Amino acid sequence: MSADQHATWVERDRARVWHGFTQMASYADNRPVMVERAEGRELIDVEGRRYLDAISSLWVITLGHRVPELDAAMRAQLARVAHSTLLGNGSTVVVELAEALAGVVPVEDARFLFASDGAAAVEQALKIAFQYWWNQGISNRTSYLALGDAYHGDTIGGLSVGAGGFGTDLFDPLRFRGVVRAPGYRSASWLDAALDALAANAGTLAAAVIEPLVQGAAGMHVASAEDVRRFGRACQDAGVLLICDEVATGFGRTGTLFASEQCQLRPDLLCLGKGLSGGYLPMSATAASGRVADAFLGDDLGPATLYHGHSFGGNALAAAVALRHLELIDDWDVLGNVAARATQLQVGLAALARHPAVAAVRACGLMAGVQLDAAVGGPRSGRRVCAAAVDEGVLLRPLGDVVVLMPILTSTAAEIDRILDVLQVALEAVSR
Ligand SMILES: Cc1ncc(COP(=O)(O)O)c(C=O)c1O
């Protein structure tokens, strides 16, 4: 296809598609990549140009695009059923997925409530935590402890426990009250402050919600596993439910299947999304411990029931892909590759940290952020560095002045080197 056709697609797109977190008045000016297809770890645009997907399509893709085994799992399920509701009825492939997940999630006797987006998984966890106490006749545990810089999605509940920013402050009047806020991981004293906040409010908290190890959307701020462990254990010791939001960190990103494992935590509620289906299909889930789920048992149609559920929760196609995905993570030793590539990435980032346009680098597993020095890079430097990388065929997307690196978990050593080399070139281009 020609460049003219690219422009035509962008114009059709701009006219009818409203893109998330995107100012549509300048959408076309920012030279969007117009994806037509993909192969392995590359996206291919309407002109046939290839881009290494170094953000895993917004952190969702784990094994790659068009993985033959995942495609086959989806086709096989298509021959059975694409979707049927889980409201009051069952679906065999979802049962199989839930059984397989129960064997790997760090949750005691886990039960799974499926949804489609990460934000919905968080929303469900918040509501389950609230009703868990209500079902036991405890009416004063109605608030939540959350951290500064937290991001838990864009629904009103997710925004409420989230710390704001990203232009969402205008929604403040919609955020629910009753959120106790401690500092986020970027503060050296976050743990002490969070423990103090916990002690001061323990009797009225329904739950505490954290992103274990890495606050991703905050710009990849990393906490020590020991600090997260101490906080999580203190919550549970104080009788406060612990919600671990692993929407971003789950399914191998940080080097273990779940970040909670490195923190030696077994949360009461675990939020999963993004990589659950290998990034193929919108699927998320809230895993509740058996103790939490059992508190909802009662009379048919009675008040103990969780009156919550989404139309597409437990989609059969997504479940079939998610089930095969879990097997492939093992069969391909994906965690072994993450360990090797993470070490390589961190060595490369340490060298990049000496670049004058770089203020700091942060990484955990295959999640990394390169904080730019605005004084050197100038305004909108994150956007300009990423645009320069896209020109070189590596798809990056910034979070403000942090360039996010989220390589696909099966990336090769050569691909990690390419991402680092292109970032170096892009930094040069912007600092000139
Ligand atoms: C930790 C965390 N929780 C929740 C979400 C929201 O997920 P979704 O965009 O699928 O709603 C995200 C998205 O980046 C996230 O990083």
Domains (range + CATH), the chain: 33-63+333-431 (3.90.1150.10), 68-331 (3.40.640.10)
Q: Which atom of ligand 1 is nearest to the CA of 274?
A: 10
Of 44-53, 288-297, 361-370, 377-386, least confident by mean pLDDT is: 377-386
What value does the mean pLDDT take over residues 221-232? Answer: 98
Report the alpha-carbon distance of residue 284 to residue 314 in Å, rounded: 9
Centre of ligand 1 to C-alpha 315, Å, is: 19
Q: What percent of the chain has pLDDT over 90?
A: 95
pLDDT for 16 equals 98
Structure confidence at residue 431 as a pLDDT band (50, 70, 90): confident
Distance 21 CA to ligand 1 centre (A): 13
Q: Which of 59, 151, 283 to mutate to test the pocket of ligand 1 (most atoms within 8 A of CB)?
A: 151
pLDDT of residue 123: 98
Which residues face 272 on adjacent strands? 285
Q: Is 118 in the pocket of ligand 1 (CB under 6 A)?
A: yes
Give the pLDDT confidence score for residue 375 in this predicted structure: 85
- Ligand 1 and 153: CB distance under 6 A: yes
119 lines ligand 1 (CB under 6 A): yes
CB 149 near ligand 1, within 6 Å = no
Give dist(CA 315, CA 323) in Å, integer. 12
CA Rg, the chain, in Å?
A: 22
Does the beta carbon of 159 sit less than 6 angstroms from any atom of ligand 1?
no
Mean pLDDT for 37-62 is: 98
CB-based burial label for 195 (10 Å; 0-12, 13-18, 19+): middle
Residues 173/174/179/184 CA torsion (nearest 10 deg): -90
How would residue 378 be classed by pLDDT, with cut points 50, 70 and 90?
confident
pLDDT at 56: 98
Where does the pLDDT of residue 113 fall: very low under 50, low under 70, confident under 90, or very high at 90 and above? very high
Section 157-169 average pLDDT: 93
Ligand 1 contact via 216 beta carbon (within 6 Å) = yes
**DSSP string for residues in 103-137:** TTSSSTT-EEEEESSHHHHHHHHHHHHHHHHHTTT
Please name the residue whose Cα sits nearest to atom 16 of ligand 1: 248
pTM for the predicted model, two decimal places: 0.98
Mean pLDDT of 312-333: 98
Kindly tell me if the per-residue pLDDT of 57 is higher than 70.
Answer: yes
Query: 377 pLDDT band (50/70/90 cuts)?
Result: confident
275 Cβ neighbours under 8 A, 6+ residues apart: 59, 60, 61, 62, 250, 251, 252, 253
pLDDT number for residue 374: 85
Two tokens, residue 413: 């050593």
Measured from the CB, is residue 367 less than 6 Å from ligand 1? no
Is pLDDT at 132 greater than 90 in this prediction?
Answer: yes
In this prediction, residue 331 has a pLDDT band, given cuts at 50, 70 and 90, of very high
- Average pLDDT of the residues in 332-340: 98
Residue 1 predicted with pLDDT over 60: no
Residue 430 has pLDDT above 70, yes or no: yes
**Any atom of ligand 1 within 6 Å of the Cβ of 147:** no
Q: What is the pLDDT of residues 66-105, one digit of tens each?
A: 999 999 999 999 999 999 999 999 999 999 999 999 999 9
Ligand 1 centroid, distance to 276 Cα (angstroms): 12
Res 231 pLDDT > 70: yes
**pLDDT at site 4:** 85
Q: Which of 19, 56, 156, 274 to mutate to test the pocket of ligand 1 (most atoms within 8 A of CB)?
A: 274
Q: Over the chain, what is the mean pLDDT? A: 97
Pocket lining: 122 vs ligand 1, CB cutoff 6 Å: yes
Closest CA to 411 of 366, 352, 349: 366
Residue 429 above 80 pLDDT? yes
- Whether 212 lines ligand 1, by a CB cut-off of 6 Å, is no
Q: Confirm or reject: Cβ of 245 under 6 Å from ligand 1.
A: yes
Q: What is the pLDDT of residue 134?
A: 98
> Distance of CA 196 to CAs 146, 160, 201, Å?
13, 21, 9
